[in-house]
Amino acid sequence: MDEQQLIEAAQSGDLTAFNRLVLSYQDHAYNLAYRILGDPHLADDAAQNAFISAYRHIKGFRGGSFKAWILRIVTNACYDELRRQKRQPTVSIEPLTATGEEVESPGWLEDPAEQPEDSAARSELSKAIQHCILSLPEEFRTIIVLVDVEGLDYAEASAVVGRPLGTVKSRLARARLRVQECLQGFGELLPLSFRLKPETER
């Protein structure tokens, strides 16, 4: 069965057909959630909730890019999680020093997404990039992950975030510029060509 047939079967209530679609897109869903949320556990919950929500609303899929439709649900689930975190900030469980201060661990340098079964290369550069992406505002973060990480084109990204095409273009440019400026702070980690300063700044 091709994807369209699976979608139609899922819309008819075939859970097995829907699960086949889940297996096809779960990596994209988790990757997006992880890059937006920056936490593997939160990304896991968001991805699971997103697929449950997708099954409930599968009849609302009217055609087009099913990947964009799924990723939109994942994005919304991530936004829900971010809003929940703002309302209920988590308490740090970092150990305290003798003076009562938290031991600051460079958690942002770690890549928790790396699992034993994960083949992704361990790279400080990727960690730095992830750090810079997480420093972006939510809207910019989502756009750059959708376009540059997930490979969506402008139209698909526009459909995912529900914003006009011009907004997507503007936000993507500003997100890239901010990441570029952020990466400048990691000097030695960057490729030599990236570290080259503009001629006008020399």
Partner 1 sequence: MKNKLSLGDWELVSQYIDNELSQKERSRLEGRLQKEPALRLAVEQMRQTRQLVRSLPKVRAPRRYTLTPEMLPQPAWILRLLPTFQLASALATILFVLVVASDLFGFLSATSQDSFLNLRAAEPAASFDIEAMPTPTTPSFFLEAEEESAAPAAQDLMEAQAPEEMFAEEPVQEGVVEEAAPETPFGQIQDSETPPGVGIMNTDMPSLEAGVDERGLTENVTGGGQLTPVVSPEPGTENTATPTPSPEPTPTPTPTPALEDDLGAELQEEPGDDRRGLSPEVSRILVRVIEVSLAAAATIFAALAIWLRRQSL
Residues that bind partner 1 (CB under 8 A): 15, 18-19, 22-23, 26-27, 29-31, 34-35, 40, 44, 47-48, 51-52, 55-57, 113-115, 117-121, 123, 125-126, 129-130, 133, 144, 147-149, 154, 169-170, 172-174, 176-177, 179-180, 183, 190-191, 193-194, 198-201
Q: Which is nearer to partner 1, 89 or 187 (CB)?
A: 187
Q: Which is nearer to partner 1, 96 or 173 (CB)?
A: 173
The sign one gets for the Cα dihedral 43, 46, 50, 51 is positive
For the chain, the residue count is 202
For residue 7, count other CB atoms closer than 10 A to its CB. Answer: 19
Q: Is 35 exposed, middle or buried (0-12, 13-18, 19+ CB in 10 A)?
A: buried
Q: Which is nearer to partner 1, 97 or 112 (CB)?
A: 112
**C-alpha to C-alpha distance for 160 and 172, rounded to whole angstroms:** 14
Give me the least distance between CB of 86 and partner 1, in Å please: 24
Question: What are the two backbone dihedrals, phi and then psi, of residue 78, each rounded to the nearest 5 degrees?
Answer: -65, -40
Q: Which is nearer to partner 1, 84 or 195 (CB)?
A: 195
